[in-house]
């Protein structure tokens, strides 16, 4: 028997978050993935809410979940309606899930001002709905909405609602910090009081992140005896989101020694899967699984982690499926450069003059506005040049761009002319594109294609522009970051100039140049 169960509500509370939408098929795919990862409960949605959720539960019956139990979510019966006759409750049973989770009102304010009924009727709604679902063979999880606010406003009333759920036969009483305003010490104290009051029914926790404390609050509840933790992958959810399972699970398992899932090393992949399916960008600075969670930038740190990784890493990155990365920037020391050169297959001895020269160049260029953190391709070119491991594949002699806007409904035209020289052979090409940079990109490839047919497969996949502030009346500069791709490989290059087109050109040329260096 586990001491803490993980209850995932990504498919229900997660979808209450702005910008997080899932199709029925998306939900089925995420449910399968969560099951394979090893969570204990998957809350699939609210069958009474919309046709998509009804359809989801119909299709979910075909899922062959190996471990997780599927839960349908809904509310207690309406006031003054017989539970057998409440259409929402009927739909919860028709979902035919082994688990049904219902939420009820713990805060008297909500009983009188939102439900507009009496405290006695509210308790009857809770007790009767739980009992009806239990009678129909369901494991019933009871979510005590606004429990902490309700408890602080009137502990007697809040506890009486929990007692009603326990009397109805709920398998777990989940205390919800619905508005996300409770602090960890309060959570621990109130959870401990609930354990003393109702020691025979397991307690769970459901927290929201309005004070950036959802994970801390869940941990406090576990310390006070909670045995079920509810949350969502990547913290998606209503307003600022829910308790982030990608943080709370490794904290429980790796820090507190509470085994919650069998394959924690798949956590990062799960997090990316959910982002990708919902078409959301990955949060780079996410704890444990973010791209920067083990990215070392400061020269001192890089020096130390090469000697002993745990000197600046709180866990082994691979234990959550992440990895250490070393960034090169103006804050680097020689250790950063040595490591990069080694990763590129050009190892350098500590103290080598080339390492010092590369470092100086990086610092000078960053002072001019370059940034190599996301431009590993341009950094590689710089290192190759300094180490004499570079052959110029082409000379870009000149380029010209133009943009024509018509007022008669004709689509605007962006045009670029590019002249390059390869082995003293001149190639002049012209191309049109969706924008000036697109036209330049097409014209450059067209010019180089006769000499390097392999560049036909290189694609420009991302283009970012940042205006860098000018100092003391100097002109503002533009930094352009480009990401190129070939096969499964991607690389970033950077260009900086007073002129956005020139900055783009520099980054474009570096992108193709690096590809050809690596091929040669």
Ligand X SMILES: CC(=O)SCCNC(=O)CCNC(=O)[C@H](O)C(C)(C)COP(=O)(O)OP(=O)(O)OC[C@H]1O[C@@H](n2cnc3c(N)ncnc32)[C@H](O)[C@@H]1OP(=O)(O)O
206 binds, among ligand CC(=O)C(=O)O, ligand X, none (CB under 5 to 8 A by kind): ligand CC(=O)C(=O)O
Among 77, 157, 206, 301, binds ligand CC(=O)C(=O)O (CB under 6 A): 206
- Which residues lie closer than 8 Å to 162 by C-beta, 6 or more apart? 106, 142, 144, 147, 173, 194, 197, 198, 201
CB of 105 to ligand X, least distance (A): 5
- DSSP annotation of 84 reads G
152 binds, among ligand CC(=O)C(=O)O, ligand X, none (CB under 5 to 8 A by kind): none
- CB nearer to ligand CC(=O)C(=O)O: pick between 53 and 145: 145
CB of 87 to ligand CC(=O)C(=O)O, least distance (A): 20
- DSSP annotation of 330 reads T
User: Among positive and negative, which fits the CA dihedral 9, 74, 41, 165?
Assistant: positive
CA atoms within a 13 Å half-sphere pointing along the CA-CB vector of 340: 32
Task: Identify residues 268-327 at the interface with ligand X (CB under 6 A).
Answer: none
CA distance 227 to 258: 11
Q: Residue 13 interacts with ligand CC(=O)C(=O)O (CB under 6 A)? A: yes
- DSSP annotation of 15 reads G
Strands (E), 295-406: 295-296, 325-326, 395-404
Q: Residue 176 interacts with ligand CC(=O)C(=O)O (CB under 6 A)? A: yes
Task: Identify residues 229-248 at the interface with ligand X (CB under 6 A).
Answer: 238
Alpha-carbon 177 to chain mean position: 23
76 binds, among ligand CC(=O)C(=O)O, ligand X, none (CB under 5 to 8 A by kind): ligand X
385 binds, among ligand CC(=O)C(=O)O, ligand X, none (CB under 5 to 8 A by kind): none
3-state helix, strand and coil shares in percent for the chain, rounded to the nearest 5: 45, 20, 35
Total binding residues for ligand X by CB under 6 A?
17
- Short-list 184, 188, 253, CA closest to 225: 188
Q: Residue 75 interacts with ligand X (CB under 6 A)? A: yes
Q: Residue 510 interacts with ligand X (CB under 6 A)? A: no
Alpha-carbon 165 to chain mean position: 35
- CB nearer to ligand X: pick between 79 and 155: 79
Q: Residue 178 interacts with ligand CC(=O)C(=O)O (CB under 6 A)? A: yes
Among 25, 81, 114, 300, binds ligand X (CB under 6 A): 114
Dmax over CA atoms of the chain, in Å, equals 92
Question: What is residue 460's three-state secondary structure?
Answer: strand
Contact flags string 132-151 toward ligand CC(=O)C(=O)O, x per CB under 6 A: -----------x-x------
CA distance 34 to 57: 16
Asked whether the beta carbons of 147 and 224 are under 8 A apart, the reply is no
CA distance 135 to 178: 28
Stretch that binds ligand X, among 74-82, 223-231, 383-391, 459-467 (CB under 6 A): 74-82
Residue whose CB is nearest to ligand X in the complex, by number: 49
Task: Identify residues 161-190 at the interface with ligand X (CB under 6 A).
Answer: 178
CA distance 380 to 373: 12
- CB nearer to ligand CC(=O)C(=O)O: pick between 14 and 492: 14
**295: its two tokens:** 């990215």
CB of 237 to ligand CC(=O)C(=O)O, least distance (A): 8
Among 38, 47, 104, 290, binds ligand X (CB under 6 A): 104
**How wide is the angle at C-alpha 33 spanned by C-alphas 32 and 34, nearest 5°?**
95
- DSSP annotation of 235 reads G
Which residues are at the interface with ligand CC(=O)C(=O)O (CB under 6 A)? 13, 103, 143, 145, 176, 178, 206, 208
Which residues are at the interface with ligand X (CB under 6 A)? 13, 16, 46, 48-50, 75-76, 78, 103-105, 114-115, 145, 178, 238
């Amino acid at each position: 028997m586990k001491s803490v169960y993980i209850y995932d509500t990504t498919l229900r509370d997660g979808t209450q978050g702005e910008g997080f939408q899932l199709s029925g098929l998306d939900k089925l795919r995420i449910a399968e993935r969560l099951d394979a990862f090893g969570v204990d409960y998957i809350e699939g949605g609210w069958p009474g809410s919309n046709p998509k959720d009804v359809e989801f539960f119909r299709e979910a019956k075909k899922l062959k979940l190996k471990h997780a139990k599927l839960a349908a979510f809904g509310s207690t019966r309406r006031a003054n309606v017989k539970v057998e006759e409440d259409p929402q409750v009927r739909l919860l049973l028709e979902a035919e899930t082994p688990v049904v989770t219902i939420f009820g009102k713990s805060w008297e304010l909500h009983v009188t001002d939102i439900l507009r009924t009496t405290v006695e009727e509210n308790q009857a709604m809770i007790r009767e709905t739980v009992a009806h679902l239990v009678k129909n063979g369901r494991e019933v999880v009871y979510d005590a909405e606004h429990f902490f606010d309700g408890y602080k406003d009137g502990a007697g009333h809040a506890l009486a609602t929990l007692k009603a759920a326990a009397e109805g036969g709920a398998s777990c009483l989940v205390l919800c910090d619905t508005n996300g305003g409770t602090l960890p010490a309060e959570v621990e104290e109130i959870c401990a009081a609930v354990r003393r009051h109702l020691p025979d029914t397991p307690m769970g926790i459901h927290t929201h992140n309005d004070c950036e404390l959802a994970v801390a609050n869940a941990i406090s509840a576990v310390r006070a005896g909670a045995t079920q933790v509810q949350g969502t992958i990547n913290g998606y959810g209503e307003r600022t989101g829910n308790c982030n399972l990608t943080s709370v699970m490794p904290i429980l398992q790796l820090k507190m020694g509470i085994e919650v899932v069998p394959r924690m090393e798949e956590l990062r992949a799960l997090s990316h899967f959910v982002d990708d399916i919902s078409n959301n960008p990955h949060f780079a600075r996410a704890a444990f699984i973010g791209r920067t969670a083990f990215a070392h930038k400061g020269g001192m740190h890089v020096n130390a982690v090469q000697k002993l990784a745990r000197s600046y890493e709180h866990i082994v990155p691979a234990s959550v499926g992440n990895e250490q990365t070393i960034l090169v920037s103006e804050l680097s020391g020689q250790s950063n450069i040595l490591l990069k050169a080694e990763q590129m297959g050009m190892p350098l001895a500590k103290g080598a003059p080339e390492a010092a020269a590369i470092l100086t160049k990086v610092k000078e260029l960053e002072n001019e506005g370059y940034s190599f953190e996301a431009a590993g391709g341009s950094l590689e070119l710089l290192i190759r040049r300094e180490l004499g491991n570079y052959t110029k594949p082409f000379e870009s002699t000149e380029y010209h761009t133009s943009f024509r806007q018509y007022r008669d409904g004709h689509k605007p035209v962006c045009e670029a002319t590019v002249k390059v020289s390869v082995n003293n052979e001149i190639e002049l090409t012209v191309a049109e594109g969706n924008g000036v940079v697109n036209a330049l990109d097409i014209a450059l490839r067209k010019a180089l294609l006769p000499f390097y047919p392999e560049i036909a497969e290189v694609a420009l996949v991302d283009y970012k522009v940042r205006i860098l502030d000018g100092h003391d009346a100097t002109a503002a500069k533009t930094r352009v970051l480009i990401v190129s791709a070939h096969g499964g490989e991607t690389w970033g290059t950077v260009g900086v100039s007073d002129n956005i087109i020139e900055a783009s050109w520099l980054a474009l040329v570096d992108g193709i140049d690096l590809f050809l260096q690596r091929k040669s």
